[in-house]
Chains A and B, each alone.
Chain A
């Protein structure tokens, strides 16, 4: 099947690719387009800025001048960076444990499955316990509640991606370091960690993107001060009606960070999303 690139086939293939690209990219372009069009031009079928209409940044400026918007952006940043960091620290340690040690009571395979099983748990099952717990801890409407939850639910990514990477490293390097008098911890920190640095960064990024996009817990546990972007934009049409330019800016502000992050971590995404079964 491969290598048989007759011209007819290639025309078909490229036509298909073109349709795919339009289908995938259109929503992004639509959001962008609306964000730079004047309200009166919303329903005009004009597609190319400068040529067909004069773009404007006024909606971006006015949206970013709203204090609540800046707050939501800040909250989302704090939540995703902190949650990803916690998940990465805990997950990397566990990944190293699973790659380098054999556990007696419970097999490594069962431990791995257990760590991954969170991706199966529907979040709505634990929404009530978390709501009650956070109320008890006085963490309702606090970004730290969401840091905690997102760290928990993104923990499987570092566990799976990094335990594979550690397993692919030659053990001899760490053994040599230990022969030279380094402790386990030192050989982990100084030998193993630097070698998986690209994977570490990519995993951190994936966790950030997931935490940024999380909605159900954010909706349940925040009400005002701690609102992150997804909750902030959801339901806004009911207070302001459907204003396309305003939807455009808000959607762009919400979706740009995770999609850009995802591009940076591209190589590791398939591996992370298939729980390590398929490498992209």
Chain B
């Protein structure tokens, strides 16, 4: 099943890098009939709201006052708002820690388990489960998992000689608990994708290397790593984008607390918008987040495209 070459297999990268296999495509105008419903839908429900958010960001909405055009005031506020900066810091820490751990552990496990072992399909099926475990459910369950007095994690740690970590009540540990749940959820993703890509690597290259007397480390460095690079960049991009959007787990497990220790960007913006009804400012925050994510995508996507062009 996974023996076909996995990497340049169509999909957006292939399309962008090589123009896809357009040879058999016709220019028949009935194509529009198939394309239009989805295109119109996306225009209506993403482009229009996005433009509206941009428009909103230039206005001020206050209770008991008329809506006022304030120009760039909302954006200027972004630079001086200490709470926003705290949310950015929390989010950046979250993104860096979770993505680095998930990438290293996920890829490492995939390398170690890339062998002929029995029951691989069962293992793969089990690793799919966390990806679809409702994040809010996991946050809610996290409250009991990280329960400080006799919760299962602290009970387990006690057997290792570590006593009662105050997981959810201290600003030092609450972010760790949130990050652990995210790592639990997404390390399997890195693992599964890496494993699928590893199994698609051409076996004859390894055999040739072995005949030439290459050690395991040699073939890892000279065959596995270069061939896996595009896939690893892609996983990194997908994880980064997803991690910046984090909301569900802190919103359900710690409610952003204690204090603001786990108040991630999306949670802060959500509160600005729907608790304090400061729509204009919340819109400006949203645009900044979008800008950050777009920046990452642009930087990494260019890099990935290059790699695929060389490799594919």
* B-binding residues in A (CB < 8 A): 1-5, 9-10, 13-14, 16-17, 20-21, 23-28, 30-31, 34, 43, 45, 89-91, 93-94, 96-104, 107-109, 111-116, 118-133, 148-149, 151-152, 155, 159-160, 163-164, 167-168, 171, 184-185, 188, 209, 212-213, 215-216, 219-220, 229-231, 233-237, 242, 244, 247-248, 250-251, 254-255, 258-259, 261-263, 266, 269-271, 273-280
A276 contacts B38, CB within 8 Å?
no
Q: Quick one: CB contact mask for B141-159 with A, threshold 8 Å, 1 for yes?
A: 1011101001010010000
* CB-defined contacts of A3 to chain B, threshold 8 Å: 115-116
* CB-defined contacts of B19 to chain A, threshold 8 Å: 107-109
* Residue from A94, A128, A280 within 8 A of B37 (CB atoms): A94
Residues facing A in B155-202 (CB within 8 A) are 155, 184, 188-189, 192-193, 196-197, 200
* CB-defined contacts of A164 to chain B, threshold 8 Å: 9-11
Residues facing A in B68-106 (CB within 8 A) are none
* CB-defined contacts of B188 to chain A, threshold 8 Å: 24
* CB-defined contacts of B28 to chain A, threshold 8 Å: 101, 184
Q: List the 3 closest pairs (A to B, CB-CB), nearest first.
A: A276-B11, A101-B31, A97-B34
Q: In the assembly, what is the distance between CA of A91 and CA of B35, in Å?
A: 9
Q: In the assembly, what is the distance between CA of A112 and CA of B39, in Å?
A: 11
Q: Quick one: CB contact mask for B12-54 with A, threshold 8 Å, 1 for yes?
A: 1111100111101111101111110111011001101110110
B241's nearest neighbour on chain A, judged by CB, is A120
Q: In the assembly, what is the distance between CA of A23 and CA of B9, in Å?
A: 32
B266 within 8 A of A: yes
Given contacts A30-B144, A124-B266, A254-B137, contact A276 B252 (CB under 8 A): no
* A-binding residues in B (CB < 8 A): 2, 4, 6-7, 9-16, 19-22, 24-28, 30-35, 37-39, 41-42, 45-46, 48-50, 52-53, 56, 109, 111-117, 123-141, 143-145, 147, 150, 152, 155, 184, 188-189, 192-193, 196-197, 200, 203, 206, 216, 219-220, 224, 231, 234-235, 238, 241, 244-245, 247-248, 251-252, 255, 265-266, 269-270, 273-274, 279, 282-283, 286-287, 289-290, 293-294, 297
Q: In the assembly, what is the distance between CA of A124 and CA of B282, in Å?
A: 9
A247 contacts B266, CB within 8 Å?
no
* CB-defined contacts of A13 to chain B, threshold 8 Å: 112-113, 115, 117
B144 contacts A17, CB within 8 Å?
no
* CB-defined contacts of A45 to chain B, threshold 8 Å: 155
B248 contacts A216, CB within 8 Å?
yes
Closest approach, in angstroms, between the C-beta of B46 and any C-beta of chain A? 6
B9 contacts A279, CB within 8 Å?
yes
A251 contacts B132, CB within 8 Å?
no
Closest approach, in angstroms, between the C-beta of B227 and any C-beta of chain A? 13
Given contacts A215-B248, A235-B252, A278-B196, contact A121 B35 (CB under 8 A): no
B252 contacts A103, CB within 8 Å?
no
Q: In the assembly, what is the distance between CA of A116 and CA of B38, in Å?
A: 12
Q: In the assembly, what is the distance between CA of A5 and CA of B13, in Å?
A: 36
B150 contacts A43, CB within 8 Å?
yes
5 of the cross-chain contacts (CB-CB < 8 Å) are: A123-B266, A124-B270, A124-B289, A242-B147, A270-B193
* CB-defined contacts of A116 to chain B, threshold 8 Å: 12
* CB-defined contacts of B128 to chain A, threshold 8 Å: 262-263, 266, 269
B286 contacts A124, CB within 8 Å?
yes
Q: In the assembly, what is the distance between CA of A168 and CA of B10, in Å?
A: 10
A94 contacts B39, CB within 8 Å?
yes
B124 contacts A266, CB within 8 Å?
yes
B244 contacts A213, CB within 8 Å?
no
* Residue from A43, A108, A168, A229 within 8 A of B134 (CB atoms): A229
A1-B111, A131-B274, A216-B266 known; 19 new pairs, CB 8 Å cut-off, are A2-B116, A2-B203, A20-B127, A23-B184, A24-B127, A101-B28, A101-B34, A109-B12, A124-B270, A129-B49, A148-B45, A155-B41, A155-B42, A242-B144, A258-B134, A266-B125, A276-B10, A277-B14, A278-B9
B220 contacts A120, CB within 8 Å?
no
Q: In the assembly, what is the distance between CA of A99 and CA of B35, in Å?
A: 11
A126 contacts B50, CB within 8 Å?
yes
B136 contacts A129, CB within 8 Å?
no
Closest approach, in angstroms, between the C-beta of A244 and any C-beta of chain B? 5
A234 contacts B21, CB within 8 Å?
no
Given contacts A17-B123, A279-B4, contact A149 B270 (CB under 8 A): no
B241 contacts A258, CB within 8 Å?
no
Closest approach, in angstroms, between the C-beta of B281 and any C-beta of chain A? 10
* CB-defined contacts of A90 to chain B, threshold 8 Å: 37-38, 41
Closest approach, in angstroms, between the C-beta of B106 and any C-beta of chain A? 11
Q: In the assembly, what is the distance between CA of A97 and CA of B263, in Å?
A: 43
Closest approach, in angstroms, between the C-beta of B60 and any C-beta of chain A? 14
B141 contacts A27, CB within 8 Å?
yes
Given contacts A113-B12, A234-B251, contact A275 B238 (CB under 8 A): yes
* Residue from B114, B132, B136 within 8 A of A2 (CB atoms): B114
